[in-house]
Amino acid sequence: MKLIAKTFHGLEKVLAEELKNLGAQNIKEVNRAVEFEGDKEILYKSNLSLRTAIRILKPIHQFTASNDQELYDGVMKFDWSSIMTNEETLAIDPVVYSEHFTHSQYVALKTKDAIVDQFRNNTGKRPSVDIENPSVRLVIHIAKEKATISMDSSGDSLHKRGYRVGNHKAPLNEVLAAGMILLSGWNKKMPLIDPMCGSGTILMEAVMYARNYPPGLHKKSFGFMGWKDYDAELWNKVVEEAKDKIEHPRLRIFGSDISVKAIDIARESALQLRFNRDITFSVSSFEKLEPHYPKGMIIVNPPYGERLMKDKDVVDFYRMIGNQLKQTFIGYDAWVITSHKEALKNVGLKAIEKLKLFNGALECGFHKFNIYDGTMKKIIKFR
């Protein structure tokens, strides 16, 4: 079975490695996705255990179309009764990159028309549309003249882990946070600090990774559960096997933020999955923060873009980050993600690794700094 795991730009390589570890075959990295092959068990495992996938698609039909009629006719060529009945509901999500089709919702409408017309012609009754909770969710992808229709096996996006509570003004996407953890090379034996943790997403994803905790474990439903060939017994087997592999290492993970509200949200999120014993939270500005251990790793998503309005504020803020790293966190590796490339120059450190990621629509640099003991001498206080 051919499958596609969707992800964010820059995470294709770590997603491919995840799929390899699950036992997927013929893995191929493409733009913002990884193509692979596997059986039904691999499909279920992918939805349950992949940390850097947004959703898993199963392509079922391909054709070429350069106008409305060719689109309609192409959709009609597939036997839709092979995957659903006229009693079931469907939803269609369009992804369009074509000069021939300029309105993606119109593409979704024509696709839906062809499917329901086929059922009405053959059975006298058509299936209904249910945008929120359909029996079958389809994705139509058009690139130039190539159209691909896939079944969405995930349903709601896989980034929804079940621990997000409250409202934080700039939450980091869970898939991106997990990707940052994997890209950083952090291992569970190493102390980890997020000094501007906000609602705690990076920390939560770090605990999940360290404990081998399936990110989809608390997701109540998946798209494949509405498919004709859904195997509940196999799904339960996959879940139980994943639970048996959960580990309980002693973790040294620390999160702080200047916002009391943000820390309250982070603590509540940790409680949702009983990760509160794995993370130590504190209310503190980065300037006043001191390390708990002489060596470790920092991963931080500092405010940027619209969250810092004045240029002087940006310069001073990033200069403070650099000074604090150089003066207080000697012996640490620090990873900083930001869309403000000019501001990053004020950190005053040379990045030893630079990666390009996207936080929503924002292109970001994910940079690694090694804080070594050079000419600067300082006595560091440890708790």
* Residue 77 CB neighbour total at 10 angstroms: 10
Same-domain status, 16 and 142: yes
Q: Using DSSP, state whether 132 is helix, strand or coil.
A: coil
Q: What is the pLDDT of residue 305?
A: 52
Whether the pLDDT of residue 22 is over 70: the answer is yes
Same-domain status, 267 and 338: yes
Query: Are 302 and 317 spatial neighbours (Cβ–Cβ below 8 Å)?
Result: yes
Same-domain status, 202 and 120: no
Q: Give the chain's domain count.
A: 2
CATH of the domain at 361: 3.40.50.150
Same-domain status, 355 and 259: yes
29 located within any domain: yes
pLDDT in tens, 75-118: 999 999 999 999 999 999 999 999 999 899 999 999 999 999 99
Higher pLDDT, 239 or 309: 239
pLDDT in tens, 42-58: 999 999 999 999 999 99
The three-point CA angle 27-30-34 to 5° equals: 45
Same-domain status, 67 and 181: no
Domain that holds residue 338: 174-212+247-370
DSSP bridge pairs for 279: 253
Same-domain status, 78 and 183: no
pLDDT in tens, 277-311: 999 999 999 999 999 899 999 999 998 654 444 56
Average confidence (pLDDT) over 188-200 = 96
Residue 211: its H or E element: helix 201-211
Task: Read off the pLDDT band of 171 (50, 70, 90).
Answer: confident
Task: Read off the pLDDT band of 166 (50, 70, 90).
Answer: low
Same-domain status, 18 and 105: yes
Higher pLDDT, 171 or 298: 298
66 located within any domain: yes
DSSP state of 54: S
Average confidence (pLDDT) over 212-218 = 97
238 located within any domain: no
379 located within any domain: no
Pairwise CA distance, residues 182 & 203, whole Å: 13
218 located within any domain: no
Q: What is the pLDDT of residue 304?
A: 64
Q: Residues of 104-122 as b/e, b for ≥16 C-beta within 10 angstroms? A: beebbebbbbbbbebbeee
Same-domain status, 184 and 53: no
Q: Using DSSP, state whether 140 is helix, strand or coil.
A: strand
Rounded mean pLDDT of the chain? 92
Q: What is the pLDDT of residue 168?
A: 59
Same-domain status, 142 and 65: yes
Final residue before a domain boundary, out of 105, 121, 152: 152
348 located within any domain: yes
240 located within any domain: no
pLDDT in tens, 315-373: 889 999 999 999 999 999 999 999 888 888 889 999 999 999 998 888 999 999 999 86
CATH of the domain at 94: 3.30.2130.30
303 located within any domain: yes
Same-domain status, 137 and 205: no
Q: Residue 6 is which amino acid?
A: K
Same-domain status, 75 and 12: yes
Task: Read off the pLDDT band of 377 (50, 70, 90).
Answer: very low
DSSP state of 289: -
pLDDT in tens, 123-148: 999 999 999 899 999 999 999 999 99
Whether the pLDDT of residue 169 is over 70: the answer is no
Whether the pLDDT of residue 375 is over 80: the answer is no
Same-domain status, 108 and 198: no
